[in-house]
Structure 1
Amino acid sequence: MRPLILVFFLSTLTTISGHSGYFRNHRRPTSRPNCDDVVSKGLCYYEDVLTSYGSDKAKHEIKTCCSEDDVAKKVIVITKTGDKFVKLLNELFKPLDFCDLVDKVDACPKCCAVNGNWGEWTKFTPCSATCGLGVKFRKRLCDSPSPSNGGADCPGSPIEKRKCINSKCPAELCASFDGYEFDSVTGCCIRVFQIQRNFFGAKKECIRDGGRLLKLDSLKKRDFLQTLVKDNSDRSFFIGARDINGQDEFEHLDHTPVEWIGHLPTASNQDCVRYDKNIREMDETFCSNRFKFVCERDVSVSPGKHLIPK
């Protein structure tokens, strides 16, 4: 007859007494602890391993699990005839030799509580603000491993946020420049200098101040300039444009062509440009004249600059 195989740990083995009627009277308990019940106690349930014999029932071994030493080093095999012998769990004895042992040992980890552990952080999202103070985020998943069988969730938050600054917003940046005024309509940042220079001297002063002579290229920009100079004692102000060849072909200092605001120039020997506040127009003038002048600074938002306050 096929031998009955009984496997259990020597350290927990209860002294086995012979009972000639054991196999005749042996039956399994009608109720068994389920996995959740066992896990809540930190135990692992070996369903078909007997630890002791009785005339009317078999007791089943319950053992602490999920530790490094929770591996059978030795097993005791008891045959139907009552013979017993010890085998080492090594190359001379493999669990595959005993189907019950393989089934039940492999089932043990399924009952063990697995605590969650965080996976890798994602990259931070772009800053929520194109300028000024914003927030950026990154996230992670509790999947390395995920909690199971009543194990603890990952500690902490799945989302991290940090403050970020792409750059100062245009109005704020313009306000940080001494004497400059910001126009929310055109986005330009302008300063009217109260000293008088010839055209080339005015150009150098603007560069020294971090800007350039004003590029007057729209009526809206002209309207803003007019609000800044209307109460000024002077009438004329150098702006950034020149006749490049003496043929009344005027360019801004960035070499884009001038779209003239006001009457077109007619004097071919006047190669620089002034703004006349009284008539609200551009006008050609000699570069050697000395006027007050208007500088502008770039306050456009430059994307990609990330500053993370500590």
Structure 2
Amino acid sequence: MFMLAHIFLALQVLFASGQVILERNSGLENWFPNNVLTTLGVVKSAIECGILCKQAECMSIVYETIDRICHLNDRVTNNVSDYSWKLNTRHYSVVSGIINGYDCDIIDDSCLKVLSSKLSWTAGSAECGSEGAQLLNIDSSNKQLAIQQFMADKGLDHVWLGINDITQEGDWRTEDGTNPIAYQNFNAGQPDNYYPGQDCGLITQNFGYLWDDGVCQQSVNVVCERKKVGSL
């Protein structure tokens, strides 16, 4: 047996209907309590295991990532002494919080929520941030296609993207301005900075769901994005 540093990594995440929050304790991975678990058997995912834990009013779960076996734990602890080790396990605390309004069936690693009001880019960014989320981030062609269908289904004509060139014209960066964007899908001739202040990215139905540069102060639909279980 080897000792594992008690490093607690809390990843607040939610499942499809937005009713349970899990906090992952990566410091306990491969640690398998041998006397405090109730084994339920094979389930689809750690999310489903968390749902079952919440229904049973347990405190935490141990999920075997290869065999997909769900174990319910009646307590939360960081004490690994006098217990056994088993590879490919993940540990989550089940938090009694409820976050409503997110759809986790659109993107593989994210959950999406359409805000009820159109907002400026800055206001939308702040509103999403207040929920532990961010503005919509499209970083692949597959995600682009999924978002196109999502917008069509929701009847959204324009949606802010979490990108901007506020600091340097033409230098498009992520929402916080720290990293250059790795993927882009601007319409032909865009971004053109046609009007002053067109420094914020959006995806628009008018361009066949391609991207445009918009005036950051205009009011546009906002989609907040949060990561799912186990996604960094």
For the aligned pair, the TM-score class normalised by the smaller chain equals 0.5 to 0.7
User: What is the CA-CA distance between 1:256 and the residue it aligns to?
Assistant: 2.2
- Counterpart CA distance in 2 for 1:186 and 1:196 is 26
> Given residue 256 of structure 1, which amino acid in structure 2 is its aligned partner?
N
- Counterpart CA distance in 2 for 1:132 and 1:168 is 16
Unpaired runs of 5+ residues, structure 1, are: 1-120, 141-158, 304-310
- Counterpart CA distance in 2 for 1:190 and 1:168 is 23
The structure-2 alpha-carbon separation of the partners of 1:168 and 1:276, relative to structure 1 and needing over 3 Å to count, comes to farther
> Given residue 262 of structure 1, which amino acid in structure 2 is its aligned partner?
F
Residue by residue over 1:250-295, the C-alpha shift from the partner in whole angstroms, topping out at 9 and shown as x without a partner, is 1112422223213241216310111113412121100010011111
Candidates 135, 156, 159, aligned match of 1:213: 135
Corresponding residue number in structure 1 for 2:145: 223
Pair 1:257 & 2:183 matched: no
Residue by residue over 1:285-310, the C-alpha shift from the partner in whole angstroms, topping out at 9 and shown as x without a partner, is 0001001111111224179xxxxxxx
Candidates 222, 238, 241, aligned match of 2:160: 238
Corresponding residue number in structure 1 for 2:210: 281
> Pairwise mapping of residues 42-121 of structure 1 onto structure 2 (< 5 A)?
none
- Greater RCO (Cα-Cα under 8 Å, separation 6 or more): 2
Corresponding residue number in structure 1 for 2:199: 271
Q: Give me the CA root mean square deviation.
A: 4.0
The structure-2 alpha-carbon separation of the partners of 1:232 and 1:211, relative to structure 1 and needing over 3 Å to count, comes to same
Residue by residue over 1:33-88, the C-alpha shift from the partner in whole angstroms, topping out at 9 and shown as x without a partner, is xxxxxxxxxxxxxxxxxxxxxxxxxxxxxxxxxxxxxxxxxxxxxxxxxxxxxxxx
Corresponding residue number in structure 2 for 1:197: 119
The structure-2 alpha-carbon separation of the partners of 1:132 and 1:177, relative to structure 1 and needing over 3 Å to count, comes to farther
- Counterpart CA distance in 2 for 1:189 and 1:204 is 18
- Counterpart CA distance in 2 for 1:179 and 1:132 is 29
User: What is the CA-CA distance between 1:208 and the residue it aligns to?
Assistant: 1.4
The structure-2 alpha-carbon separation of the partners of 1:228 and 1:194, relative to structure 1 and needing over 3 Å to count, comes to farther
Residue by residue over 1:109-144, the C-alpha shift from the partner in whole angstroms, topping out at 9 and shown as x without a partner, is xxxxxxxxxxxx9989535525994489x9x9xxxx
Unpaired runs of 5+ residues, structure 2, are: 4-27, 33-62, 74-79
Structure whose alpha-carbon radius of gyration is higher: 1
% identical aligned pairs: 22
Corresponding residue number in structure 1 for 2:42: none
The structure-2 alpha-carbon separation of the partners of 1:296 and 1:302, relative to structure 1 and needing over 3 Å to count, comes to closer
- Counterpart CA distance in 2 for 1:209 and 1:225 is 21
User: What is the CA-CA distance between 1:181 and the residue it aligns to?
Assistant: 1.6
**Contact 1:183/1:224 (CA < 8 Å) preserved in 2?**
no
The structure-2 alpha-carbon separation of the partners of 1:201 and 1:246, relative to structure 1 and needing over 3 Å to count, comes to same
**Contact 1:262/1:281 (CA < 8 Å) preserved in 2?**
yes
Residue by residue over 1:138-176, the C-alpha shift from the partner in whole angstroms, topping out at 9 and shown as x without a partner, is 9x9xxxxxxxxxxxxxxxxxx899xx862389xxx9xx6
Corresponding residue number in structure 2 for 1:129: 64
What TM-score do the two structures reach when normalised by structure 1? 0.42
**Contact 1:132/1:168 (CA < 8 Å) preserved in 2?**
no
What TM-score do the two structures reach when normalised by structure 2? 0.55
Equivalent pairs counted in the alignment come to 158
> Given residue 261 of structure 1, which amino acid in structure 2 is its aligned partner?
N
